[in-house]
Amino acid sequence: MSFLSFKLPHPLLSVFTLGVLGAYGMGPFYFWPALTLSLSLFWLVLTSYGDKPSWKSALCGFLFGFGYFTGSLWWIGNALLIDGSPYVWVYPLAVCGIPALLSLFPALAAFLIRRFFAGRSLSSFAAYIGLMFTAEYARGHLFTGFPWNLFGMSWTSTLPMLQILSLGGVYLLSFLTIFMFSVPAFAWKGTSSRTIRYALVVTALMIGAGSYAYGWQRLTQHPTIYNSDVLVQLVQPSIPQEDKWNWDKMWDNTRKTISLMESNPSRKGNDEPPSTRVVILPETALTYHHLSNLAALDALTGRLRGYPEDHVYLATGLLQHDGEHYHNSLAVMDRSGHIVTSFDKFHLVPFGEYIPLQKLFPFGPIARFSGFETGGGPRTLSVDGVPPFSPLVCYEVIFPSEVTARDEEHPSWMLNVTNDAWYGISPGPFQHLAQAQYRAIEEGLPIVRVANTGISGIFDAYGRPVLLTGLFSESNNESYLPLPAADVTPYVRLRGLY
């Protein structure tokens, strides 16, 4: 079998290589031409089997997925390499096991394509587009779901293309991406007439150009507008993960965090004095130990009382313990140190915060805290002087249509606290940051993201980066809070269909 006048290695080795190539379409590279080549050549290899057994097609899909997921998600294993981690031995399972599980989705899609839609006809190509998309959608929803590095995310560095998220979300963009990126192969080797093949190429080009034009116009017509009454202060302490849960260093970490909470006159947005300040600390910046320690509370409240604004709040990630269960929470405290409202994380990380089928696995979660209690789902929090907001802890931000409550008042912004120190200098923090950008465009809401380390920042309601910090750097930044989009996005109106 030869393409482009050179002979490829064994097809099964080829599809694994194509999967790895496709991974370069994801962060931090976002080189979408690599994914175009990957998806197009994968279709050619998959449809080259003729009358060979379907199980080889399933293996073909599995190896393509395995190359793609190992190439773009290898950094997950870094969480096991933190100094002092007792789970280093699980590293190969994290690096290979999770991609292997995710690869079952494209494997099933490839099997069905070969079993029921063999060949390179128009109907076979349509089945390829539909089943590859179904595989993406399924892995984003089944077994708690993991909608990470969906094919549509290859457009992250092209902001106008991302604006289509406001119409149909990341799954619509992923569907269109699979189609646009696979059409070159069909145009070249499809068995339909030249007219049909070229018509599909023209259609793909029109979709791409139309999407870009729509996005460019949307961005041009809607500049970033700020709420001059509300100032958000992002504190990124950049505490190494090996020190974060070292109880001998807990109070040193606390002092470091509080010392960064001073007012920063360098602001993004308006120059008018605000009436409200929200100081934001990252995921689990505080624990139940701090709430019961008078010296820690005095230091925190002393810092809060030093701000001149009428309303001052501390929004912080908080590890709570009720005597039986742990809660990974986001709490809002007033100047007196009282918690005025809080939210418990509801999308817990498998193996990180809980162990699925715990009886079958003789070890605890990586976070070292057993018995995390699941929160009740998305909520809208409100406090005096602050527009209502939707709180999100860590990777809850990756789930489309699950970042705001549907039965409550629609919020005016989203707040995501996280800790990406687990993953070091790797693609992980960049990919996680991009997820916040997608949710902002889908929901038509600005999002404030504060990390222990990783990349803290603010995206406006159209996905523009208003403020971004460095990776593994201490930072203290202020910005006026951007306003929501001018209109509720079609995605929000229609998301019940998703």
Please list the active-site residues: 283, 345, 394
Residue 453 in contact with residue 445, Cβ under 8 Å? no
Residue type, 243: D
CA-wise closest residue to 117 among 105, 104, 136, 131: 131
Residue 108 neighbours by CB distance under 10 Å? 18
Of the chain, the end-to-end C-alpha distance in Å amounts to 40
- Phi, psi of 180, rounded to the nearest 5 degrees: -65, -40
The β-bridge partners of 6 are: 3
Q: Residue 91 to residues 79, 80, 88, 96, 248: CA-CA distances in angstroms?
A: 9, 6, 5, 8, 27
d(CA 203, CA 461): 30
Residue 226 neighbours by CB distance under 10 Å? 21
Residue 491 neighbours by CB distance under 10 Å? 23
DSSP string, 315-359: EEEEEEE-SS-EEEEEEEE-TTS-EEEEEE--SPPBTTTB-TTGG
- Which residues, 6+ apart, have CB-to-CB distance to 395 below 8 Å? 347, 349, 418, 432, 435
The single-letter DSSP state of residue 372 is B
d(CA 46, CA 15): 9
- Which residues, 6+ apart, have CB-to-CB distance to 85 below 8 Å? 79, 366
Spell 295-304 as b/e; 16+ CB within 10 A means b.
Answer: ebbebbbebb
Q: Residue 34 to residues 26, 134, 152, 179: CA-CA distances in angstroms?
A: 9, 22, 13, 15
d(CA 72, CA 141): 19
- 266: helix, coil or strand? coil
CA-wise closest residue to 456 among 411, 404, 413, 420: 420
Helices assigned H by DSSP within 228-272:
241-244, 250-259
